[in-house]
Structure 1
Amino acid sequence: MRVALVSEHASPLAVLGGVDAGGQNVHVDALARGLADLGHDVRVYTRRDDASLPERVPLGPRVEVVHVPAGPAREVPKDALAPYMDAFGDWMARDWERTGTPAVAHSHFWMSGLATLRAAAALDVPVAHTYHALGSVKRRHQGAKDTSPAGRVAAELSVGERADLVVATCRDEVDELVRLGLDPARIQVVPCGVDVTHFRPLPPARRGRAAGAARGGGALLPRRRQPHRLLVVGRLVERKGVDTVVRALAAVPGTELLVAGGPPADLLAADPEACRLVALAEALGVDDRVTLLGRVEHDDLPAVIGSADVVVATPWYEPFGIVPLEAAACGVPVVGSAVGGLLDSVRPGVTGLLVPPRDPDALAAALRPLLADPVRRRALGQAARRRAVRTYAWSQVAQRTAALYQTLALPADALLAGPAAVPALTEVAV
């Protein structure tokens, strides 16, 4: 099957860690490769943001990235890209006519949905859509700080109504979409995935050396200075709630915090959120127990995760959240906010713990007994690894996604004979 994945701002070729580069980039990259492993031919359409980029770049066997000339050939904040989506869709339709029409197009993010529906209408291509984040949720939590275009929520509803299928990443998103006005019968849940081969528990002999082995932002990961280590991984943006962890640290003695993410280490001093976190740590008297690593390379991340006793993920809200899956695959328990995708990916008392968002006291109360109980931490981590392999491996996610594509690509008379079998994802696709 020929598949078009459309991700207007989140290229699988992008360097992760920037304000607009994160989980969606990982998702599109891994899904494209997973579909190709199943024998499908995949093209990923993303906006050209650099004049030097070639039109087509191979990503792997049976996968290529296509850079669409829509808007200026330079970096543009994603919230300013909506005016270029008509041009994106028109160019993509012409490309499909020249190089072969896909059996299915799968748009990622609301602006990609606008472009994809425009291209698909001209060629009668069925469209699946994944939001990755919802404007209604962003506005609820960020208020006046939300930089989304004024018409985003209405456009998201229009995309969902016009797409042939909406692929949500978690059950909480389904609730949000139904509240938005979408028909739940047209929504299927397929979660994000994790590379369970790359992210895996460190051998016991390496765990003790991990702190000196991995590189974060070009510098050796510091050796442990406290009995316990917490780790936060993610972009340095306020909604990720890293400040909640810094505040909780004041009530969790004998514990250090590493923060992996953001710009390279030598640029942290110019990053507003990094400066805010450093100032907060100094004000709370925990600056000697907080280390900002800056960007950590993908190859080094499993060792960084493996050096921690607990990975903490406390965003204000989270459409899905890749980091809890990466920690789980590494066999490290997660203490996270009870929001969004974490309600699915973390099973309280089984693979980790959940606490209310933006509540440092509740976070500290959860961390203290967990850090004091290595047997419990080990049990949670082992269960998390088993569940990651069983439920969230990209091979499973790609298989289920491809089965949904097939139901869209089948002719009407075949659908009357009965839907294609869509393999269930244990515990998640409910």
Structure 2
Amino acid sequence: MRIAMVSEHASPLAVLGGVDAGGQNVHVAALAGALADQGHEVTVYTRRDDPDLPERVPMTPGVEVVHVPAGPATAVPKDELLPWVRDLGSWVADDWATHGAPDVVHAHFWMSGLAALQAAAVHGVPTVQTYHALGSVKRRHQGAKDTSPAGRITAEAAIGRRVDAVVATCTDEVRELARLGVPASRVRVVPCGVDVAHFRPVRRAAGPLPRRQPHRLVCLGRLVERKGLDTVLAALVDLPGTELLVAGGPDAAALREDAEATRLTALAARLGVADRVHLLGRVGHDDVPALVSSADLVVATPWYEPFGIVPLEAAACGVPVVGSAVGGLLDSVVDGVTGVLVPPRDPAALAAAVRGLLADPVRRRACGAAARRRALARYSWRCVAAQTERVYRSLTFGARGAARVEEVAV
């Protein structure tokens, strides 16, 4: 099968850790690679954000990344890319005219959906949509801080009604899509995945720093406010003898110039826990399993989370997660079995859950072992790719061409 993916701002070749580089980049790269491993030919279209990037780059055998000239060849925040989405769609359609149309196109993020529908309308290609994040959820939690274009929510609803299938990454997203009026018959749930060979338990791992306290917590992810690190810092006040390592954001040398790192450092000082908090900055992919394995617990307390790959990485390493009972964590963390779920933005509840697990090493080990087994059974990229392939093959070619031509206005 020839598969096209459109991921307008999240290149599978990107360096992770920036504001707009995270789970979607990992998802697109890993899914494309796993589909290629199953014998498919995958082309990923992403926007060129550097004038020196070649047009076409082989990523792995069977996967090619195409840098599309849409908008300025420089980094642009994803919420400011809408004016060039039509150019992206036109270029992809022209590329298919030259190199042949794919059997299916899979759009990642809502603006990619606009471009994919535009190209698919020209060539009659079945279209699959994965949102990765919904504007309605973002607006609910960020309010006036939401920088999304004004028409995002309306466009997402329209995209969901026009594509051939929507791949939701968790059951919570299915409920959100129903509120947007996306027909349930069009929605399939396929989770994000994790590289279970790379993310595995590392025995006697020390991580990047020697342990200075009896217990260690680890947080991973982008340094953005919605990830809820302030909740973890507040909980740390009631967790004596516990240190916190935070991996993510820019390189360590640039942390002093990062606004969120500066805010968190100041907050730790005000709370009196600065001596037990270590901001590591960006940690290399190869070093993450040892960092996670060095922890007693991984803590993930976002305000909201469309899916979240950190709980899967922790599970694959055999480390329990204490996380917010939101979004994808409701699926990826089995409360009381592979970790503990707590209300978001509740430091007292978080501290109580962490304290309970830290005080019971037998329960903690049992949760970690159960998490590893579940990651192997449900979340390997081979399993995720097989489920995604079934969605592709279920589509009736050309059946919804008329609906696909309809304009999606923003």
What is the rounded CA distance, in whole Å, between the counterparts of 1:146 and 1:268 in structure 2? 24
Q: 2:79 maps to what in 1? A: 79
The Cα offsets for residues 354-398 of structure 1, whole Å up to 9 and x where unpaired, read as: 000000000001111111111111000000000000000000000
Q: CA deviation at 1:407?
A: 1.2
| Matching residue of 2:43 | 43
Amino acid at match of 2:226: R
The 1:409–1:51 alpha-carbon spacing in structure 2 relative to 1, beyond 3 Å, is: farther
Answering whether residue 299 of structure 2 is matched by residue 312 of structure 1, we say yes
- Equivalent position of 1:185 in the other structure: 185
What does residue 274 of structure 2 align with? Answer: 287
Equivalent residue number for residue 5 of structure 2: 5
TM-score (norm 1): 0.92
Once the two structures are superposed, the pairs formed by residues 260-409 of structure 1 within 5 Å of their partners are 260-408=247-395
Q: Aligned AA for 1:358? A: R
- Residue 127 (structure 1) shift: 0.1
Residue 271 of structure 1 and its aligned partner are, at CA, apart by 0.6
What SS class does the counterpart of residue 266 from structure 2 fall into?
Answer: helix
The one-letter code of the counterpart of 1:77 is P
Deviation at 1:181, TM superposition (A): 1.0
Quote how far apart the aligned CAs of 1:104 are: 0.2
Matches within 5 A, 1:160-309: 160-203=160-203, 206-207=204-205, 210-211=206-207, 221-309=208-296
Matched with 1:420 is none
Asked if the contact 2:126/2:397 (under 8 Å) is kept, the reply is no
| Aligned-partner SS, 1:18 | coil
Matched residue, 1:23: 23
Secondary structure at the aligned position of 1:3 is classed as strand
SS at match of 2:395: helix
Structure 1 gaps of 5+ residues are: 212-220, 413-430
Query: Residue 409 of structure 1: CA displacement?
Result: 5.5
Does structure 2 retain, via aligned residues, the 8 Å contact 1:103–1:409?
no
Task: Quote the Cα distance in structure 2 between the aligned partners of 1:322 and 1:367.
Answer: 20
CA separation in 2, counterparts of 1:385 and 1:66?
A: 35
TM-score with structure 2 setting the length: 0.96
Which residue matches 2:154? 154
Which residue in 2 is equivalent to 1:416? none
* Contact map agreement 1:104 1:409 (CA 8 A) in 2: no
AA of the residue aligned to 2:82: A
- Displacement of 1:411 in angstroms is 7.5
Query: Runs of 5+ in structure 2 lacking a partner?
Result: 400-410
In the alignment, structure 1 residue 114 sits paired with structure 2 residue 101: no
Deviations, residues 132-157 of structure 1 (Å, cap 9, x unaligned): 00001000000000000101101111
Amino acid paired to 1:349 = G
Separation in 1, partners of 2:288, 2:85: 35
Q: Note the C-alpha offset of 1:180.
A: 1.1
Deviations for 1:246-300, whole angstroms, at most 9, x for unmatched residues? 0000001110000000000000001111011111110011000000000001111
The equivalent of 1:419 in structure 2 is none
